[in-house]
């Protein structure tokens, strides 16, 4: 069984990842989730996860959370909201987690970022960039830090997110010019597929639903 550490499971894509990882009975993975707020622990523990409490903006919390554990894969969906002020988990929290993963000898690190980060900035409309540009820059810094860390990595950049049931039409592509909408449940499935695929190692993907592109364009999908 793989031992997986998940940060960002209290809501959104992270919660969907936890559900997928634990959907088998018995679960096929040992899942340890990092939480800041104990409120979410009951539901996650009911799914079969173990919980550890700490703030990713505090490096010592992460070292304690990972110390002495044989973690195979770290997955992080951490990020703030546009309304958040001050230091954000998008960059500093993820950088701290990368450092802790290196120290713990983690085998693989999966970072969920966003289309508009890095070279995929060309896929974003100017008005969106005006609103989200600062957040995307923070995500880009985390991506760059992970690539330089020496860890085996996968970076997944979803498009615009919706909280609806999975469509099954989501795909990965290495084409940074493609953008569109994707459901959070579909992102979670792609993340879980990348965890178990060596083809995803040291790759950067955009994740979109092939039926919800912003512009009808031809692009190559990546087969895991």
- Using alpha carbons, select from 52, 7, 48, 11 the residue that is nearest to residue 28: 48
Q: Which residues are catalytic?
A: 114
Contacts of 132 by beta carbon, 8 Å cutoff, 6+ apart: 82, 114, 116, 124
The CA–CA distances, whole Å, from 191 to 60, 100, 133, 172 equal 27, 21, 24, 10
Starting from the edge strand earliest in sequence, which strands make up the sheet with 152-158, in order? 50-53, 29-35, 2-7, 73-76, 108-112, 152-158, 203-209, 170-173
Is 221:172 a contact under the CB 8 Å cutoff? yes
- Using alpha carbons, select from 113, 111, 96, 106 the residue that is nearest to residue 2: 106
What CA–CA distance (Å, rounded) separates 67 from 60? 10
Q: Is 53 left (phi over 0), alpha (psi -120 to 50) or beta?
A: beta
């Amino acid at each position: 069984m793989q031992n997986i550490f998940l940060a960002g499971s209290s809501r959104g894509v992270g919660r969907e990842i936890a559900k997928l990882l634990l959907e088998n009975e018995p679960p096929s993975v040992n899942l340890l989730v990092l939480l800041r707020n104990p409120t979410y622990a009951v539901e996650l523990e009911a799914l079969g996860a173990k919980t550890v409490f700490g703030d990713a903006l505090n490096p010592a919390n992460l070292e304690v959370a990972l110390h002495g554990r044989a973690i195979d894969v770290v997955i992080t969906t951490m990020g703030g909201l546009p309304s958040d002020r001050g230091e954000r988990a998008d960059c500093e929290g993820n950088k701290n987690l990368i450092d802790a993963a290196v120290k713990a000898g983690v085998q693989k690190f999966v970072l969920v970022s966003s289309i508009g980060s890095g070279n995929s900035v060309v896929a974003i409309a100017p008005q969106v960039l005006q609103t989200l540009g600062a957040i995307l820059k923070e995500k880009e810094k985390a991506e760059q830090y992970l690539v330089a860390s020496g860890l085996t990595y996968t970076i997944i950049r979803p498009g615009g997110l919706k909280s609806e049931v999975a469509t099954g039409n989501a795909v990965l592509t290495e084409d940074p010019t493609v953008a569109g909408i994707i459901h959070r449940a579909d992102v979670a499935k792609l993340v879980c597929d990348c965890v178990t695929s060596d083809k995803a190692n040291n790759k950067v993907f955009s994740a979109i639903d092939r039926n919800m592109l912003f512009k009808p364009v031809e692009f190559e999908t990546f087969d895991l």
